């Protein structure tokens, strides 16, 4: 029986399904979530909620705290020498301690000259922490490729995901999707959920949609950000303002109605370590299209990935519109993909990693 300790910046609800399922596994003695701070106000304003972790011990990281070094303890440190209190605790573990230590992280943004500098920083960090690291849980293939490129070959790098809800919750949402009344509109309904900032690539989506020859589409944008006015001006210049709905930020509890009404979520990010909206959309049966620069792309088939060449996006978007609004059968298939991201699936994946 093992004791698992997760060292994280905040007690994020994006981890609750996985941690609660892990705490209930018959081969686990205990699960503890150590965190630096409570959920910050800016996250609440953007729609995040407090996590619910029955069966998991929640403890703030204490100044000068040293992790338990017993052989029964397995520690997972979020980031890659990036969160001060988390990694100060990591540094206090002696090299000869019998406990096991893993890093858990997305790939960092590697775009432009800042991306080059970031790669250098992470290579230096890899040399500093590798002697005490037993393995790396990397988010998506994007993360695997990045960390395999900077860590010694002796350290295993394992693909992981955000396993955010229990499978029973996905089943409940599946039933809601089946029972919901879909709009009779013949317009194909695209949806974007996230910040309106340059990294998220919404400008690329607007330009691609403006190049689509068909008129039977609408786009709903849920979120706020510093680029909102610029994006609204771009939509006006492109002549598509009347086809776009700007909704602002919404509580997470209200998002499901938007996913259920939509035919396809589009995540056009220039870089995204994962992309939690993909998990949320699939649970509601919504189709997804994501750029290959998103960590979540690795759980999807090629047909759900936007081409690397942005100039090819209009063709794919038009094909979705021509295919008509999403069917109940297609929604059911998307819900099945969501089940591969359940808390139980995450527990099974972790067990396979630890057995390597």
pLDDT of the chain along its 356 residues, tens only?
899 999 999 999 999 999 999 999 999 999 999 999 998 888 887 778 888 999 999 999 999 999 999 999 999 999 999 999 999 999 999 999 999 999 999 999 988 888 889 999 999 999 999 999 999 999 999 999 999 999 999 999 999 999 999 998 886 666 565 544 455 557 899 999 999 999 999 999 999 999 999 999 999 999 999 999 999 999 999 999 999 999 999 988 889 999 999 999 999 999 999 999 999 999 999 999 999 999 999 999 999 999 999 999 999 999 999 999 898 899 999 999 999 999 999 999 999 999 98
Contacts of residue 258, defined as CB under 8 A and 6 or more positions apart, other chains included, come to 191, 193, 220, 222, 247, 250
Handedness of CA 62, 353, 296, 81 (dihedral sign): positive
Note whether 216 and 291 are same-domain residues: yes
Note whether 155 and 34 are same-domain residues: yes
Note whether 277 and 347 are same-domain residues: no
Which pTM was predicted? 0.91
**Domain residues for 288?**
167-339
Note whether 282 and 159 are same-domain residues: no
Note whether 244 and 95 are same-domain residues: no
The single residue listed with the structure tokens 């990010």 is 269
Q: Which of 134, 151, 133, 137 is nearest to 104 (CA)?
A: 137
The pair of three-digit structure tokens given for residue 117, joined into one six-digit string: 């500098």
The single residue listed with the structure tokens 């395999």 is 148
Angle at alpha carbon of residue 213, lines to 208 and 216, rounded to 5°: 95
Domain CATH for 228: 3.40.50.2000
Contacts of residue 218, defined as CB under 8 A and 6 or more positions apart, other chains included, come to 187, 188, 189, 190, 243, 244, 245
Note whether 211 and 134 are same-domain residues: no
| Cα(111)–Cα(121) distance, integer angstroms | 14
Note whether 19 and 159 are same-domain residues: yes
Distances (CA, A) of 201 to 22, 204, 210: 35, 5, 15
Angle at alpha carbon of residue 209, lines to 206 and 210, rounded to 5°: 85
């Amino acid at each position: 029986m093992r004791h698992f300790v997760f060292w994280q910046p905040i007690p994020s609800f994006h981890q609750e399904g996985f941690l609660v399922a892990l705490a209930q596994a018959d081969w686990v003695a205990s699960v503890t979530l150590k965190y630096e701070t409570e959920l910050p106000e800016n996250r609440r304003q953007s729609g995040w909620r407090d996590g619910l972790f029955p069966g998991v011990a929640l403890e703030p990281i204490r100044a000068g705290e040293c992790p338990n070094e017993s052989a029964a303890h397995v520690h997972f440190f979020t980031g890659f020498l990036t969160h001060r209190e988390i990694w100060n605790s990591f540094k206090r573990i002696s090299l000869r301690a019998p406990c096991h230590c893993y890093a858990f992280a997305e790939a960092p943004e590697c775009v432009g000259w800042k991306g080059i500098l970031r790669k250098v920083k992470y290579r230096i960090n890899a040399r500093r922490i590798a002697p005490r690291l037993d393995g790396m849980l990397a988010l998506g293939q994007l993360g695997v490729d990045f960390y395999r490129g900077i860590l010694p070959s002796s350290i295993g790098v394992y693909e992981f995901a955000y396993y955010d809800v229990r499978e029973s919750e996905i089943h409940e949402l599946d039933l809601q999707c089946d029972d919901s009344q879909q709009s009779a509109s013949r317009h194909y309904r695209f949806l974007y959920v996230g910040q309106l900032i340059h990294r998220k690539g919404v400008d690329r989506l607007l330009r691609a949609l403006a190049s689509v020859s068909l008129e039977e589409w609408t786009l709903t944008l849920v979120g706020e950000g510093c680029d909102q006015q610029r994006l609204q001006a771009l939509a006006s210049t492109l002549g598509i303002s009347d086809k776009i709905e700007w909704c602002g930020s919404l509580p997470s509890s209200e998002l499901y109605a938007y996913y259920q009404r939509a035919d396809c979520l589009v995540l056009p990010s220039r870089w995204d370590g994962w992309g939690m909206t993909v998990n949320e959309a699939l649970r509601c049966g919504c189709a997804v299209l994501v750029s290959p620069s998103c960590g979540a792309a690795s759980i999807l088939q090629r047909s759900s990935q936007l081409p690397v060449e942005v100039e090819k996006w209009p063709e794919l978007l038009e094909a979705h519109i021509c295919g008509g609004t999403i069917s109940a059968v297609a929604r059911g298939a998307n819900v099945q993909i969501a089940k591969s991201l359940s808390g139980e699936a995450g527990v099974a994946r972790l067990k396979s990693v630890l057995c390597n």
